[in-house]
Chains A and B, each alone.
Chain A
């Protein structure tokens, strides 16, 4: 299995609070991604990174920001959590230019009350 960890694995928070999720990899892969998974929607891309300090928005980026100051870490921040951001968040990495094979972390279950 690819060396990807996510922390925390579970979190309960209140509406309006900021939340930061961390993805850490030991594979030295260039590309990193944050997805959310909700019933009936499949996985949807939030943000992705193609290198240190290089990030871009995905299809559902509103209300989220990211940072990548080191190759191994990709942080996802919910600036002011809302109940609609209750979801399972997956980080993924890849090392091919086309991103074909993506390896996923174990996921973070977030509940916003």
Chain B
């Protein structure tokens, strides 16, 4: 079983739509959670951290459910420029500093 699981998509949505991505993680010791964005043939970039109380950054809202080990990302009013792969990322509370990445969910926003 993968440590971080995501639906690979693709999600094809029209401009202006609201779209939600989900992610589950297997290690209950995971401490920190993030969404990264990766454009085609580019490097991943941090989109936002995910806090226990949920957090919002403009059109983007992230939610965490520790009991269900579930993370979500909601994008409102989708733009063409939102087309990318969204990576769910967790960090465990261990001495190792690295992150564990999901395989990503691809979003294609269409005109």
Contacts and interface: CB of A to CB of B under 8 A. Distances in A.
Interface of A: 31, 33, 35, 40-45, 48, 50, 56, 58, 90, 94, 97-107
B13 to A, nearest CB: 23
Contacts of B104: 42
Given A42-B104, A90-B44, A106-B42, A100 B98 contact: no
Contacts of A56: 96
Interface string B76-108: 000000000001000100001111011110000
Interface residues of B, number: 21
B51 to A, nearest CB: 12
Nearest to B104: A42
Contact of B99 (A40, A41, A99): A99
Interface-centre pick from B87, B91, B103 (highest chain A CB count, 10 A)? B103
Contacts of B97: 31, 33, 48, 50, 94, 97-99
Contacts of B46: 101-103
A46 to B, nearest CB: 10
Contact of B32 (A43, A100, A103, A107): A100
Given A40-B8, A94-B97, A103-B46, 12 more contacts: A33-B97, A35-B101, A40-B103, A42-B4, A42-B104, A43-B44, A43-B87, A50-B97, A102-B99, A106-B42, A106-B43, A107-B43
